[in-house]
Each structure stands twice: as C-alpha cells, then as structure tokens.
Structure 1
Amino acid sequence: MRHYDNHRSGTVQRARQLRRDAPDPERRLLRALRETYPHLKWRHQTPLGPFFADMLCFSEKLVIEVDGDTHVVAEGHDASREAYMAREGYRTVRVTNAEVMQNLEGVIAQISFSLREKEGARAAQPRGKDEGGSPTEKGGAA
C-alpha cells in the first residue's frame, strides 16, 4: 500500500473529492480499463508528486490523462505535469473526453499499443546473468 506521508496536507481529501466529482468520461474509461485489463491495478485520481494522475497503473508506469475543455487553456500546466511524470519514469497517454465518449474502443486500442510498446522494450533488453544466465547454467553443454 502506498503511503502519502510525503504529500502536502489535504492531499488524500483532495484525491477523494476528485474521484467523487469525476466526469463521466473518466468513469467510463476507468471501468473499461478494469474490464479490459483485469490483471492490472488501475488507480483513479492518484497523487503523484505535486500532481494527480487521472488514471495510473504503477506496475506498468503508465499514466492516462483524460483532457476536458479546461486543458486547452492549461497547456503549460499539462506540459510541466507530463515532464515531471516522465522524470519519475512514467509514460503518459493523453485522450480527450470526446474520444472516450465517441470512440472508447479506439482509446483502449491506443492504451493497448502503449502497453505493448513497453513490453517490446522489456523484451528487447539484453538479459544478464542474473536474469537469464549462461547456456551452461541452464543445462546446456559444459
């Protein structure tokens, strides 16, 4: 379980309020993510440093931001949020409310692609002795 000792006072209450007041597109996408990827734990309005992630999967280091009309005027804030999350090792996928409401399957496909990209990056990394060992350690010819 994550502890919020390092966060400002009121962070937990703010996260709860954001979850309670979540717009329909966020709720709809969260439901679809949990149905499509039941093996992953999706968190909603989770504190991440000084920001709140709309949807977050810690194990995949993936943040999904659902942008409404207010994000058009807050591009600078969104850029600093995304930069912070990237420094912390998180990838960010941005979708709009309209995309979620009109093309949920396309949004899930976009997220699926992002998850496969990470999996491909993991598979492309060379395996060290601690991870895979040498052929002789695996029962090959000595």
Structure 2
Amino acid sequence: MNPIPNARRLRRHQTRAEEKLWAIVRGRRLGGFKFRRQVPIDRYFADFACWAAKLVVELDGPTHEERELHDLVRTEVLERCGYRVLRFDNDLVLADPGGVAEAIGAALRPRA
C-alpha cells in the first residue's frame, strides 16, 4: 500500500493546532532544522518529523482522549525506529505556541 495519498490527505485536512505548529517549524524556521508533516514511519504517520535530529512531534487533540494505550504503543514504535517523541496537547499549541516552540528547540539542541 502506498502511504503517499494518505499523507497528502492528512496534510490537506490539518487541525488548527497542526496549522499553528507548521507555521512555527516550516522552512527551517526553528534552529535551521527541516521538519516534514505527516511522515510515514513504520505503520504510523508522525504529525511532524525532523530526520536530522531524529525527533517526532505529535499533537494530541480530542481524538486522543481515552486512547492512552494506543498512543503509548505508537510512541514505543517510533522510539524503536530511533526517534525521540514529544507530545503536546492541541490546546497548549494554540494557547502557548512560543512555549511549545521553546520546548521543541530545546529538544533539537545537542545534548552535552
């Protein structure tokens, strides 16, 4: 199965929080790191991924309520693929985009 049509559909139908975060990370605006949206990794589509930093940013909205086990398994799979995973609630992205950008920026910085 070709994941590209599904990824394109997901990009066309973004949530407000995804639009806000994309405005922050697109075009190497965050520390010069390139992010991509709706990236197929294993059997999932990561909301945002930076291959150079091996970082995935996942946004959790109403569809994630009562799906903690699913999200836990998803995070474990992404981590086994070599990615660090950051999760943010949609409401936080909309209320404090600067704080979310700072948290992502901190995760992108090399660890001592």
Q: TM-score range by the shorter chain?
A: over 0.9
Match of 1:41 in 2: 34
TM-score computed with the length of structure 1 as normaliser:
0.74
In 2, Cα distance between the equivalents of 1:57 and 1:30?
12
* Two-structure CA RMSD over aligned residues (Å): 1.3
Q: Which moved more, 1:36-45 or 1:69-78?
A: 36-45
What SS is found at the alignment partner of 2:58?
Answer: strand
Counterpart of 2:107 (choices 111, 114, 122) is 114
- Greater shift, 11-20 or 26-35, is seen at 26-35
1 or 2 for the larger relative contact order (CA 8 Å, sep ≥6)? Answer: 2
> Which consecutive aligned stretches of 4+ in structure 1 deviate over 2 angstroms post-superposition?
none
Aligned residues: 111
For structure 2, the 5+ residue unaligned runs are: none
- Determine whether 1:20 maps to 2:12: yes
Structure 1 alignment gaps of length 5 or more: 1-8, 125-142
SS in structure 1 of the partner of residue 38 of structure 2 = strand
Q: Residues 81-117 of structure 1: CA distance to partner in whole angstroms, max 9, x if unpaired? A: 100111111000000110111000010111112112x
Q: Identity of aligned pairs, percent?
A: 37
Q: Could you state the TM-score of these two structures normalised by the residue count of structure 2? A: 0.92
Partner of 2:55: 62
Equivalent AA in structure 2 for residue 115 of structure 1: L
Which protein is bigger by CA-based radius of gyration? 1
